[in-house]
Chains A and B, each alone.
Chain A
Amino acid sequence: MSKEGSAAGSRIRRNAARPSGQPAARRTRTSITLMIVMTLMLLYSLGPMFWLLVNSTKTKQDLYDTSGLWFGPTFSLFGNIADVFAHDDGVFLRWFLNTVLYVVVGAGGATLLATLAGYGLAKYRFPGRRAVFAIVLGTLAIPASVLAVPQFLLFSKLGLTNTPAAVIIPSLVSAFGLYLVWVYAAEAIPDEILEAARLDGAGEMRIFFSISLRQLAPAFITVLMFAVVATWNNYFLPLIMLSSPEWYPLTVGLSQWASASASVGADPIPHLVITGSLLTVLPISAAFLYLQRYWQSGLAAGSVK
């Protein structure tokens, strides 16, 4: 079996990927114009992050009293962080763990399902294949918030609203992921390998897990990252499906904190909202830093031809 695997690797018309960050042509000189352009884009991208960082170091009073552009007189980042975790009996940590649960189960499941289905669509002819494809692509254009009402009513009938399942089940679907894997699998896995494996008597599932999955790894990682981001940032659906804060993800929780000032009998806590936002952005940024090298090659897949 391993023989076939390596044979597969060599036979694939693999994209001539270069190691990232090391363009082959070192001969050319650094362009000042391009450096200026890129620096401007960097400032544009990081400017708001800088604002977030600066303002998460401020006390509530300084937020109201001082300009948002620079640090306030009191540096209370650590105090704010402590307050974020202490507020409302530490509900922030709960939201954090919820989000992790939704990401692990939801994004993980979505990636698995999309990979399986994309591969199946690319490599098998089966009754209903065209219909599946048409339906999946067709639904891509239907606005998610439009389906929200019927989705809510349906989930409600099943008694699933206000449970983690109401957030997880819908996030198990990644039509874009399916599309990506489909395109990638069609290119990256030659049918000959599958035929050869079948002649060896391997079952379809065995072929998938022992041969194809390895070839699909870049696409898998890509879909996984998209799904992780989508789930981490998911706001609209949990907002509708959940009513008790104990199941909120971070996004909904933070927006609740943000609008807490918009009613009577609730104390405005902008400093906690800002610091909480920073704490929400950090883990996903760290995940990017770590995963982006794996990500590179996979993204190209969506664009082949």
Chain B
Amino acid sequence: MSITMARNRRSWAGWWFVGPFMLVFVPVLVAPLLYAIYLSLFRDSLVGGTRFVGLENYATALTDPKFWDATARVVLFLCIQVPIMLALALIAALALDSARVRFVPLFRLSIFLPYAVPGVVAVMIWGYMYGDQFGLVADLNRWLHDVVPSPLSESLIVPAIGNIVTWEFAGYNMLIFYSALHAVPRELYEAAEIDGAGALRTVFSIKLPAIRGAIIVATIFSIIGSFQLFNEPTVLQKIAPNSITSYFTPNMYAFNLSFAGSQFNYAAAIAIVSGVITMIIAFFAQSMGAKEQSR
């Protein structure tokens, strides 16, 4: 990111602008974060009360198979779902931008519309359709003679959630890419066409490099989003309680530990470790992107 810093004087004037934001940001996010760190240094039990344990909770977290199970699941999720979703979004954006598709506004809006559906409602709709005994999958199986396996079974629940997330966010990412493509100067295409480049070559040699920044940003936010996966599995758990464990994602694990297990302290440690892992991966993705760019 090449931000050309202004020749502005170094003064306090900037705080007039940043101040109001920070005034909300600090109590709403920073203070709870510090509080979470503070909490993570203690252990509270139903019998015996609270005691200071130092970093013991972190030691426990790092060797907690449930935590790593959850982390492995979201890593798997993001390795598969994020590329699929972004590829779909990219294909759609490139198609809309290619001038070889009609009814562009219709497609653009329709594909984007799922983003407007509240996550709770989205899961409810898909949850119904996933029903393999009395839902839509059951209807399909009656026609197709049991070829569709149950999306709510333990083995397919991760792809099933991946599908919901893809449905919700593919259009949103498509719009980001589409807008970025819009910003690519015309002259670049024209030059390529004069050189006799085909449509596909234009895509790979001009369009994709031109919107690399957008792709990196979308990737990073999708990675963070995957790690924070919570609403979809939690709401889906009501109809598939046998496939979604209480430690399905790191976030769910932390939430269930604190709200069902009253282990606020340990949950805070889990949350912080999970946040750090997210930051590392996001940073890694960003520097990979930056490296490519500088090459």
A and B touch in the complex (CB under 8 A): yes
Q: Which residues does A use to contact B, with CB under 8 Å?
A: 15-18, 20-21, 23-26, 28-31, 34-35, 37-38, 41-42, 44-46, 48-49, 51-52, 67-69, 113-114, 116-117, 119-129, 132, 135-136, 138-151, 153-154, 169-170, 172-173, 175-176, 178, 183, 186, 191, 194-195, 204-205, 208, 229, 232-233, 235-236, 250-251, 254-255, 258-259, 262, 273, 277, 280-281, 284-285, 288-289, 292, 295-300, 302-305
Q: Which residues does B use to contact A, with CB under 8 Å?
A: 1-18, 20-22, 24-25, 27-33, 35-36, 39, 88, 91-92, 95-102, 104-122, 124-126, 128-129, 135-136, 139, 167, 170-171, 175-176, 179-180, 182-186, 189, 199, 211, 213-214, 217, 221, 224, 227-228, 230-231, 235, 238, 250-251, 254-255, 258-259, 264, 267-268, 271-272, 274-275, 278-279, 282
B100 partner residues in chain A, CB cutoff 8 A: 28-31, 34
Whole-angstrom distance between the Cβ of A263 and the nearest chain B Cβ: 12
A-B contact pairs, 12 of them (CB 8 A): A16-B186, A48-B122, A69-B139, A123-B14, A124-B6, A127-B12, A140-B224, A173-B29, A236-B231, A251-B118, A262-B238, A285-B116
A235 partner residues in chain B, CB cutoff 8 A: 118-120, 231
Whole-angstrom distance between the Cβ of A58 and the nearest chain B Cβ: 12
Whole-angstrom distance between the Cβ of A283 and the nearest chain B Cβ: 9
The answer on a CB contact under 8 Å between B171 and A45 is yes
Whole-angstrom distance between the Cβ of A83 and the nearest chain B Cβ: 18
The listed residue (B120, B167, B250, B267) touching A149 by CB distance below 8 A is: B267
The answer on a CB contact under 8 Å between A142 and B171 is no
The answer on a CB contact under 8 Å between B119 and A141 is no
The answer on a CB contact under 8 Å between B271 and A304 is no
The answer on a CB contact under 8 Å between A302 and B214 is yes
B228 partner residues in chain A, CB cutoff 8 A: 143-145
The answer on a CB contact under 8 Å between B139 and A34 is no
Whole-angstrom distance between the Cβ of B47 and the nearest chain A Cβ: 21
Say whether, besides A191-B8, A281-B121, A302-B214, A116 and B29 are in contact (CB < 8 Å).
no
Question: How many angstroms from the CA of A243 to the CA of B16 in the assembled complex?
Answer: 36
The answer on a CB contact under 8 Å between B33 and A28 is no
The answer on a CB contact under 8 Å between B24 and A172 is yes
The answer on a CB contact under 8 Å between B183 and A304 is yes
The answer on a CB contact under 8 Å between A136 and B116 is no
Whole-angstrom distance between the Cβ of B142 and the nearest chain A Cβ: 9
The answer on a CB contact under 8 Å between A46 and B13 is no
The answer on a CB contact under 8 Å between A146 and B275 is yes
Whole-angstrom distance between the Cβ of B293 and the nearest chain A Cβ: 9
B171 partner residues in chain A, CB cutoff 8 A: 45
Say whether, besides A41-B107, A48-B122, A126-B12, A146 and B92 are in contact (CB < 8 Å).
no
The answer on a CB contact under 8 Å between A143 and B279 is no
Question: How many angstroms from the CA of A143 to the CA of B272 in the assembled complex?
Answer: 9
The listed residue (B14, B122, B272) touching A120 by CB distance below 8 A is: B14
Question: How many angstroms from the CA of A287 to the CA of B94 in the assembled complex?
Answer: 25
A295 partner residues in chain B, CB cutoff 8 A: 175
B277's nearest neighbour on chain A, judged by CB, is: A141
B272 partner residues in chain A, CB cutoff 8 A: 142, 146
The answer on a CB contact under 8 Å between A124 and B13 is yes
The listed residue (A38, A208, A285, A302) touching B113 by CB distance below 8 A is: A285
Whole-angstrom distance between the Cβ of A7 and the nearest chain B Cβ: 18
The answer on a CB contact under 8 Å between B97 and A23 is yes
Pairs A-B, 8 closest by C-beta atoms: A120-B17, A124-B14, A303-B214, A146-B271, A126-B14, A117-B21, A23-B99, A150-B32
The listed residue (A16, A51, A125) touching B14 by CB distance below 8 A is: A125
A172's nearest neighbour on chain B, judged by CB, is: B24
Say whether, besides A30-B102, A45-B114, A141-B224, A299 and B1 are in contact (CB < 8 Å).
no
Question: How many angstroms from the CA of A51 to the CA of B99 in the assembled complex?
Answer: 31
Q: Which among A44, A150, A205, A254 has the greatest number of chain B C-beta atoms within 10 A? A: A150
Whole-angstrom distance between the Cβ of A291 and the nearest chain B Cβ: 11
A147 partner residues in chain B, CB cutoff 8 A: 29, 32-33, 36, 271
B211 partner residues in chain A, CB cutoff 8 A: 303
B121 partner residues in chain A, CB cutoff 8 A: 52, 251, 254, 277, 280-281
The answer on a CB contact under 8 Å between B231 and A114 is no
